[in-house]
Amino acid sequence: MVDSLKKPAFEEIRPGVKAPAKETILTPRFYTTDFDEMAKMDISANEEELKAILEEFRADYNRNHFVRDAEFEQSWDHIDGETRRLFIEFLERSCTAEFSGFLLYKELGRRLKDKNPVLAECFTLMSRDEARHAGFLNKAMSDFNLCLDLGFLTKNRSYTFFKPKFIFYATYLSEKIGYWRYITIYRHLEAHPENRIYPIFRFFENWCQDENRHGDFFDALMRSQPQMLNDWKAKLWCRFFLLSVFATMYLNDLQRAGFYAAIGLNARDYDMYVIKKTNETAARVFPVILDVDHPEFYRRLDICVENNAKLAEIDKSDAPKLVKFCRKLPYYLSNVWQFVRLYFIKPIETASRQGVVL
């Protein structure tokens, strides 16, 4: 065999253990927060709903769901080349995102235990779910002869600090967008089973219900803290988080359109649908949502997609660092400008939609 063919497609920290992907503004983040402020929170304004959600978590509907069956036991070498690379990347990104949820929820469960037992138990039970999700994805990676060292990841990733209210906006959205992402892939493959190239997608239906319940928990938690939702600052921040979450997903997915094509999906159509549904869902709790049907919305996001393609091209060249930076600068500035313009598209007030099930 020619030497270059033997070279693994990914960098490894040990044989079979993949080096974590380089952290960028678009990779899944790890979060930490002000645990004392969280512990002091008075949830009495919505305690009944939170207790009902806790009962749901305790019921543990997916206790026996994440069990690998016979369909996994075969060679996956026929998924090769670029599709294999994109597939492993999808598994890694999903695993990292799930694991990041696990770490945050587990720590919150631990720190709130004595001061806020209802919240603490909710967080602990959500961390149970996320551990299952991350473990299942990591096991899937091992079907491709790789896995992630999650202990290494815990120690070596940088953690982003967010105050509790920002943690709530961000995790609420990531749970709900996770729900829409999984259910949309599941429904598509249910209608087109010929595109289901790997069995993990069969698990997405029950899996996404975990994410939906997690999202509902943050919905109820934010309602227990009306000051987080009802002033002008809340409106500005909700817009910011909606836009950040949507733009990050869109830029990531369009860069990896080949993965979605491999399962018969058009990445752009898929993302537009997921963004529309998540935005509608967020109207149940956020004071404003984005006008994603505004003609500028996808026009500007598409400019960012083009900018990112140019940035990647420059990165690949052999030019000296400083030259590269100067060539990249206009594209960075353009991205910032698009983001600012997107942010100032008039949002949609949601007061009339609150409490409506979407």
Q: What are phi and psi of 148, to 5 degrees?
A: -105, 140
Segment contacting Fe ion by CB under 5 A, of 63-71, 115-123, 138-146, 171-179: 171-179
3-state secondary structure of 147: strand
Q: Is 224 helix (H, G, I), strand (E, B) or coil?
A: coil
Query: Tokens 């990914």 label which residue?
Result: 10
With CB under 5 A as the contact rule, the residue among 165, 188, 213, 214 that binds Fe ion is: 214
> Measured from the CB atom, is 133 or 165 closer to Fe ion?
133
For residue 161, which phi and psi values (nearest 5 degrees)? -90, 130
Min. distance of Cβ 3 from Fe ion in angstroms? 40
- Binds Fe ion (CB under 5 A): choice among 30, 54, 98, 164: 98
Q: Are strands 288-289 and 30-32 parallel, antiparallel or unpaired?
A: unpaired
Identify which of residues 100 and 279 has a Cβ nearer to Fe ion in the complex: 100
Report 102-161 residues binding Fe ion (CB under 5 A).
Answer: 130, 133
CB 327 within 8 A of CB 273: no
211 is an interface residue for Fe ion by CB under 5 A: yes
Using the contact rule CB under 5 A, the part of the chain among 36-44, 105-113, 209-217, 303-311 near Fe ion is 209-217
Closest distance between Fe ion and the C-beta of residue 106, in Å?
A: 13
The answer to whether 134 touches 95, Cβ cutoff 8 Å, is yes
115 SS3 class? coil
Q: Crossing angle for the helix pair 47-59 and 204-223, nearest 10 degrees?
A: 160
Q: Which is nearer to Fe ion, 164 or 178 (CB)?
A: 178
**Per-residue mark of binding to Fe ion, 300-319 (x: CB under 5 A):** --------------------
Footprint on this chain of Fe ion (rule: CB under 5 A): 98, 130, 133, 175, 211, 214
